[in-house]
Amino acid sequence: MRCILLGSGTSTGVPEVGCHCRICRSQDRHDKRTRISLLVITDSGKRVLIDCSPDFRRQALSADIDSLNAILITHEHYDHVGGLDDVRTISWLRDLPVYGEEKVLASIRERLHYVFRKNPYPGTPRLTLHSVEPGVPFQIDGLTVEPIRVMHGTLPILGYRIGDMAFLTDVKTIGEEDLKKLEGVRLLFINGLRFRKEHPSHQTIEQAIEISARLDNPETVLIHLSHHAPLHEELLTLLPSHIHPGYDGLEAVIENAEISIRDFVPHLSRAEYTYQDCGRIDYESALNLQRDLFTQAVDTKLEGHTPENTLLFCEHEPVLTLGKHGHEENLLLPEQLLKNRGIRLYHIERGGD
């Protein structure tokens, strides 16, 4: 299992807008934190996003995210759901399931009303909402997820356990029975807003260390850090060896008996490809060939494999194309006169006129 910390900061991010403290002025990239979000990639290639922050678009581009199997939502606060509209470009063609408590789903329906009304606004994400309950495990494509009840001050919210990993954000307290559900975790993501000073709805770094100790000191990554927390370099000297200050782009990998903490490096190397020289070919045949190759690539990705890239060389006789938003009255000649001149007209599924 690979866990990529897309965002490690609290609701305001770091640096804060308008703040000039030494943390916000730090030039260390580890101290520049977007809002909280975690990408989990299972050994079978399933991609599960936990919380979708307002910074999701930026995070997805940095992590080269082009598909998701599901989204888990911990609670309805904006810094945890504000990026849901930005998944539209990877959920136009297929439904993307979103899991959360019913009160959270109701909030999402209200915020994204244009997505869930009878006739959704064109181009919006295709999200399907699924209600979950604390302590009741559920399945995502064969992956078992267990929601854990924690308290965000007086607000009941969820943490999630997936196999040997647990993700707890915005925690102030956790009950004994729910703590027992975390026994045996080997990798723990847990919030620590600042080092020692109490906060009404978030635990401190010291309290996060205590929770880790009660769970037999799994490898622990601190998340939801604010500009009141020490600098990253200072945290490295203050924390026990199994406690790691989280930062945007941290990757934690569970592999057999080992857990490694490292920088995430997106796979942006040049892709191999094959090419076909189609020569002179009629437009419709070339278009159908492209559609077939695209469908094969999508099916291959959905099966968890890397699709083959194909570059086509071709040329055809003169054509005009009308996209799905095209208007025939904009043609300068009727279709029959175009045919008489050897120009074919095609209605295709691209946008535009």
| Edge-to-edge strand ranges of the sheet holding 258-263 | 127-131, 96-100, 70-72, 47-50, 37-41, 2-7, 250-255, 258-263
What's the chain's average pLDDT? 94
Q: Which CATH superfamily is domain 2-263 in?
A: Ribonuclease Z/Hydroxyacylglutathione hydrolase-like (3.60.15.10)
* Model confidence pLDDT, tens digit, residues 42-85: 988 899 999 999 999 999 999 999 999 999 999 999 999 999 99
DSSP string, 68-103: -SEEE-S---HHHHTTGGGGGGGSSSS-EEEEE-HH
Between 327 and 135, where is the model more confident?
A: 135
Both tokens of 68, joined, read 């998701």
How far is residue 19's CA from residue 33's CA, in Å, rounded to a whole number? 14
Nearest to 34 by CA among 84, 98, 82, 102: 82
Is-cis flag, bond preceding 15, omega within 30? yes
302-312 mean pLDDT: 87
pTM score: 0.78
Q: How confident is the model at residue 311 (pLDDT cuts 50, 70, 90)?
A: very high
**pLDDT tens across 244-287, in order?**
999 999 999 999 889 999 999 876 545 678 889 999 999 999 99
- Higher pLDDT: 111 or 141? It is 111
Q: How confident is the model at residue 110 (pLDDT cuts 50, 70, 90)?
A: very high
| Residues 188-223: tens digit of each pLDDT | 999 999 999 999 999 999 999 999 999 999 999 999
Determine which of 98-102, 122-126, 331-335, 340-344 has the lowest per-residue pLDDT on average. Answer: 331-335
User: Domain segments of the chain: what residues?
Assistant: 2-263, 273-347
At 125, the pLDDT band (50, 70, 90 cuts) reads very high
